[in-house]
Chains A and B, each alone.
Chain A
Amino acid sequence: MSDLTDLYQAVILAHNKRPRNRGKLPTATRVASGDNPTCGDNCTVYLCMDGEKIGAVSFEGSGCAISQASASLMTTQLVGKSPAEAESTFAEFKDIVTTGGEPEAFSEIAAFAGVHAFPARIKCATLAWHAALDALKQPDRPIDD
């Protein structure tokens, strides 16, 4: 039986308590939302493109510590990446949360390895990432209120 401290790593607790880049991004040109209907979690991700790269990212929504920390951490990982690089980062993250593996290079996303022992929580960890990839697929346009 996995210990809960494996799931709730210090990095996760810190991001949950003080999320980075939380709130609407006024300069955003792409936005997408996702939700987990079974648990009521929801997440909206705002992206501002800087040429071919992601210039800024923010998120809004509500959910458990895992989903909030994952969204917060994701915003710190995606800035400066191209859509293809963002996709490969998500692929690596998904691998970590489903298998408990380690990232290729040192990264805070390693903190999510404990999630793999709690299959019911994997969708909490990937919610924001799915929204971000959806947003990346959209054309740039001003964000409506």
Chain B
Amino acid sequence: MTHDFSNLRVDFPVLDQHVGGHPLVYLDNAATTHKPRSVIDAVARFYERDNSNVHRGLHALSMRATDGYEAARARTAKFINAADPAEIVFTRGTSESVNLVAQSWGAANLKPGDVVLCTEMEHHSNLVPWQLITARTGATLRYVPVVGDDAEGGLDLEAVDRLLTPEVKLFAFTHISNTLGVTNPVKELCAKARAVGAISVIDAAQSAGHEMVDVQDMGCDFLAFSGHKMAAPTGIGVLYGRRELLDTMPPWQGGGGMIANVEYAASTWKPAPERFEAGTPNVADAIGLHAAIDYLDSVGRPALGAHESELAQMACSALSELPGIRILGPRPGSARAGMVNFAFRDVHAHDVVTFADQDGVALRGGHHCNQPLMRKLGLPSTIRASFYLYNTPADVHALVASMRKILKFFGAE
């Protein structure tokens, strides 16, 4: 089934506006995506009709709120093919999910001599939490390098074999890089981690709302993603954890909702997932996430990812003809996820982004929360165009036309 992507724009109210006198061309989707009407309505409906605290009240509204929140959990489990809804912990987003694993599993299991393996292409959210916990436990943090002057070779898979020693207790890696647009062979990486007895943690922030994500097929131990990067509200995220692991982990925050019994001297905890959800959870946005998942599945994820990837390849090929351009990640003509990250020799990224904004084209300029990699590649700042289901080939043309204009303006032809 091929979906018609040309008319999805109308589902997103925010896209119906002009910026700089031009129709908005939103190409900053790797930072955050927009929300369809159905998600906005689901959140509004919750506040208008059902708003209440969960797991506490016996009144009608509290029961409805609890049912809505738990239905969102079950729907999320189905979305990533988790075996059990109890394997879904709601968090604020990918960063909090990774921090949860680091602070709970890491603090309980890491010791001096142990190694946490990560990769050079990680977003700060899957890098800094490991720096914090290795510093605290005395474990060592190592990185799998990327290959090529423009990281066009992706992850160095031979180095993975060399670095995955028995001392490695945890291997954390991204599914799709937010900086390079490369897709890592996550199933293979999980199998390699398992072979040395290491726990695997996948950052799925750039993949969950785009590609099929099947945690059982991947064979991962943990997987983290954010709602706001997949058409859901901000402030709701997911940590998937294998049940056997979650049940052995200590709480990382204490408070209401996570306890079984509290005495003045000590307390006992509920099982997962409640153990990891201290305090009143973000009920409304979990319900928004449910609506977003329904929306994405109505479009269909294999087609959605293919559509974005096609636009990114189209942009990559057209941009590669511009003078003095340097494109990161896969070479033009090669497969890439739905983004393209580039820099011009003669015009700084911030000047480009300001200029494009005047044409109504929203881009990201900067280090993309990946400072060490940018430093390694010798780039202080780059420009990223990232696509989602509502983007079209016309958006690619607008991007390329705007880039041509700025190069001309700065005399960089």
B367 pairs with A40, CB closer than 8 A: yes
Complex partner residue of B366 from A1, A40, A68, CB under 8 angstroms: A40
Tell me, in angstroms, the Cα distance from A98 to B409 when the chains sit together: 25
Q: CB of B233 within 8 A of chain A? A: no
- Which stretch in B202-210, B307-315, B346-354 binds the other chain? B346-354
Q: CB of B183 within 8 A of chain A? A: no
A39 pairs with B366, CB closer than 8 A: yes
Given A7-B354, A40-B366, A41-B381, the answer on whether A63 and B409 have CB atoms closer than 8 Å is no
Q: CB of A65 within 8 A of chain B? A: yes
A39 pairs with B354, CB closer than 8 A: no
Q: CB of B143 within 8 A of chain A? A: no
Tell me, in angstroms, the Cα distance from A38 to B368 when the chains sit together: 9
Chain B residues, Cβ within 8 Å of A99:
none
Q: CB of A84 within 8 A of chain B? A: no
Complex partner residue of B354 from A17, A38, A121, CB under 8 angstroms: A121
Complex partner residue of A38 from B347, B366, B374, B411, CB under 8 angstroms: B366
How many residues of chain A get a CB closer than 8 Å to chain B's CBs?
21
B381 pairs with A65, CB closer than 8 A: no
Q: CB of B324 within 8 A of chain A? A: no
B3 to chain A, nearest CB (A): 36
Q: CB of B380 within 8 A of chain A? A: yes
A63 pairs with B354, CB closer than 8 A: no
Given A65-B347, A121-B354, A124-B350, the answer on whether A40 and B371 have CB atoms closer than 8 Å is yes
Q: Map CB proximity to A onto B386-398 as digits: 1 under 8 Å, 0 otherwise.
A: 0000000000000
B380 pairs with A62, CB closer than 8 A: yes
Q: CB of A91 within 8 A of chain B? A: no
Tell me, in angstroms, the Cα distance from A124 to B411 when the chains sit together: 21
Q: CB of B410 within 8 A of chain A? A: yes
Q: Map CB proximity to B onto A24-56 as digits: 1 under 8 Å, 0 otherwise.
A: 000000000000001111100000000000000
Q: CB of A13 within 8 A of chain B? A: yes
Chain A residues, Cβ within 8 Å of B374:
40
B409 pairs with A8, CB closer than 8 A: yes
B380 pairs with A65, CB closer than 8 A: no
A118 pairs with B354, CB closer than 8 A: yes
B380 pairs with A42, CB closer than 8 A: yes
Tell me, in angstroms, the Cα distance from A121 to B358 when the chains sit together: 14
Chain A residues, Cβ within 8 Å of B333:
none
Chain A residues, Cβ within 8 Å of B358:
1, 4
B349 pairs with A65, CB closer than 8 A: no
Q: CB of A66 within 8 A of chain B? A: yes
B149 to chain A, nearest CB (A): 18
Chain B residues, Cβ within 8 Å of A63:
348, 350, 380
Could you list 11 examples of A-B contacts with CB < 8 Å?
Answer: A4-B358, A8-B351, A13-B410, A39-B350, A40-B380, A40-B381, A41-B381, A63-B350, A64-B350, A65-B347, A120-B354
User: Interface on B for A, CB 8 Å cutoff?
Assistant: 20-21, 347-351, 354-355, 358, 365-367, 371, 374, 380-381, 409-411
The 4 closest A-B pairs by CB, nearest first: A64-B350, A64-B348, A40-B380, A40-B381
Given contacts A41-B381, A65-B410, 16 further A-B contacts (CB under 8 A): A1-B20, A4-B354, A4-B358, A17-B411, A39-B349, A39-B350, A39-B366, A40-B374, A41-B350, A41-B380, A42-B380, A62-B348, A64-B351, A65-B347, A66-B351, A121-B354
